[in-house]
Chains A and B, each alone.
Chain A
Amino acid sequence: MTQEEALRLVLRRLAALGRELGRPELETADATTRLFGENASLDSIGLVTLIADLEEDVRVAVGVTVNLADEKAMSRLTSPFRRADLLAAHLAELVRAARP
C-alpha cells in the first residue's frame, strides 16, 4: 500500500465518520486536516473509532491485520494521530511491514 493509497483510505473513512456523526466538515478533510489535539476534528472516542474502522478497512481490502495504536505509535516523538497525512504514513508503513 502506497502512502497515497493509505491517505485515500483515511480520507474516505473520515468522510464516512463525518456522515455518521453529522459533521460535514469531515467530508472535505485533506492531508493537512488535524485529527487530534488543538483545533482537531475528533475527540478521543472519535479517534479510537476512526482507528477501528481503518483497521477493519485494511483487513477487508488487503487481508492483513494491523494495530494502528500500539506502544510504538504511542512513544513516537510526533504522534501519528495528529494529522491525516501522518496517520496515512503510519498506516502504509504498518501494512508494508505486515505483508511479506
Chain B
Amino acid sequence: MSILSRFAAYSDKPALIGVWGACTYGRLAGLVEEAGRALADLRLPGPAAVAVVGGHGPAAAAWLLALEATGHFAVPLSGNPAEHPARLAQVNAQWVVTADGLSWSLLPRIDEASAHPLFLRLKERGSAGLVLFTSGTSGRPKAMVQDFRRLLASYEGRHASRLPVLALLGFDHIGGLNTLFGCLASGSPLVVSASLTPSDVAAAIALHRVAVLPASPTFLNLLLVSGEAETRDLSSLRVITYGTEPMPESLLARLRAAFPRARFIQTFGTSETGITRAESPSQDSTFIRFDDPALEWKVVDDELWLRSRTQIDGYLDADNSRFTPDGWFRTGDRVELGPEGTLRVLGRMGELINVGGEKLMPAEVESVVLAVKGVRDCRVRGEPHALTGQTVVADVVAASSADQEALRAAVRNACRARLARHKVPTRVTFVPAVSGERLKKVR
C-alpha cells in the first residue's frame, strides 16, 4: 500500500509536529492534494524539475509527495541559500516552491523542460525523480538522480508505529528523507525541533516524549558536552540510531552510560545507494552486519562496494565512474572485515572530509578561499577533531603585506557567506607554500 493511501487510516494522528503545531495525517493529505492541484493548474506539457526549498515541515513534505505522485522531478534544497542558485541551474529547475511550516509559494524559474537523458529515462519509465546533491572532487556538487517511485515503494512494507521520531538529519539529505518517509509510512509522528542545537533538540525530545532519535555520532557527542542530557528528561528515548560517520568506541561507551534505557542501532547508507538495514553483533560493538535483502556488498582492496535496489540512476552532470558497468558503487569508505560477516568503517579512501556526518570536498572550499584578497594559494584538508569527528583546516599562503589576523577572519567570513556551515574552516593556518596541484589562483 503506497505511503499516500495509508494516510486515510492514520487521519487523526499527528504526522509532523513543530513550530506550526501538530499537523495530522489528514491535514497532510489535504496539503498533498493542494500541491497536486497547483501543479495541475500549471498545465505543464510534461514532467518538470521542481525545487522544494525549506526544511522538514508539512508543506515541504506534501510537495515532495505530490511531485512523486504526479511524475515530476523533486529537488529538495535546504541550508545556506547562497548555495542554491548554482544547484537550481545544475538541474534546470523550472519551478521553485518555497515551503515554511504549513505555507508555501510557487514561483517560475525557467521555461524550458530539463532534457537530460536521466530525466528522459525516468519519464519513459512513467516514474518520478528525486535529485539530491553530493560533494564532487572538482569542487562543484554532483546532482544525483534516482527513481523516486521506487524509493518510496521501498517503505511500503513498514509496520504501523506510534513512537515519535525526531527529524535531525537534513531535508536535502538521504538520511533525513529516510527518516521522513519511514515515519510517514508507519504513521508515527515526526518531531521537528526549532533548531538543531543540542538544547532545542533536547527540549523537543522532552516535550514530545520522542522515542526514536536518528543522529550522527557528533550530534550525540555534542548532546553530552552541552550538558542537556543531564538537565532535561530524555528518558522517553528508546532507540538511538547512528550513522553518517564512524562511531568512536569510547563515545559509544559514554552514550550507553548516559542513556542506559536506549537501544543503540547503527545504520549505514550512502546518498548513492540509500540507507541500509544493518545490525551490530552487540550493543558495545561498532561493527555492523548488513541485514537487507535489497543490498549486496563486497570489499575490494579495503574499499566497500555496494549494489542496491534503491540506488541512484546516475549523476546528472558528472561522470559515473564510481559505478562499475555491472552496477556496483564504489563507496570510497575504507573498511575492515570483522568476524561472522561483519565489517567496520575506518574512514575514507580519498580526500572527502566528514564534519559531524556532513561531507564536503576540499576543492569546494578552496575555490572560495582563493578568491579572498590577500590569499596567494591555499589547500584545504580535514583534521580529526574530538567534537565533530573531523574539522576543516585551510592552509593559506598569504600575500606578504597581509595582516594574518584580519585575513583569517576574511577567509572564514567569505566561506560563511557562500558555503554551508560545516564547510567553513575552523582553523586557518599560514604556511610558506602548499604542496600539490589542485586549483591555482588566477591573478
> Residues on A close to B: CB < 8 A?
16, 19-21, 36-40, 43-45, 47-49, 51-52, 56, 69-71, 73-75, 78-79, 81-82
Contact = CB atoms under 8 A, between A and B. Distances in A.
Contacts of A40: 197, 199, 226
A41 B119 CA distance: 45
B197 A52 contact: no
Contacts of B426: 45, 48-49, 51-52
Interface in B212-230: 218, 221-222, 224-228
A44 B254 contact: no
Contact of B386 (A37, A38, A70): A70
B421 A45 contact: yes
Contacts, number: 82
B105 interface: no
A11 to B, nearest CB: 16
Given A20-B409, A52-B391, A69-B387, A74 B228 contact: no
B388 A20 contact: no
Contacts of B199: 37-40
A3 B126 CA distance: 68
A45 B225 contact: no
A49 B218 contact: no
A82 B262 CA distance: 25
A70 B386 CA distance: 6
Q: What is the predominant secondary structure among interface residues of chain B facing chain A?
A: helix
B387 A47 contact: yes
Contact of B227 (A37, A49, A73): A37
Contact of B228 (A38, A47, A71, A81): A38
B386 A36 contact: no
A82 B197 contact: no
A48 B385 contact: yes
B226 A69 contact: no
A42 B199 CA distance: 12
Given A20-B412, A37-B227, A38-B199, A74 B254 contact: yes
The 6 closest A-B pairs by CB, nearest first: A37-B226, A52-B427, A38-B199, A20-B409, A49-B426, A69-B386
B67 interface: no
A79 B226 contact: yes
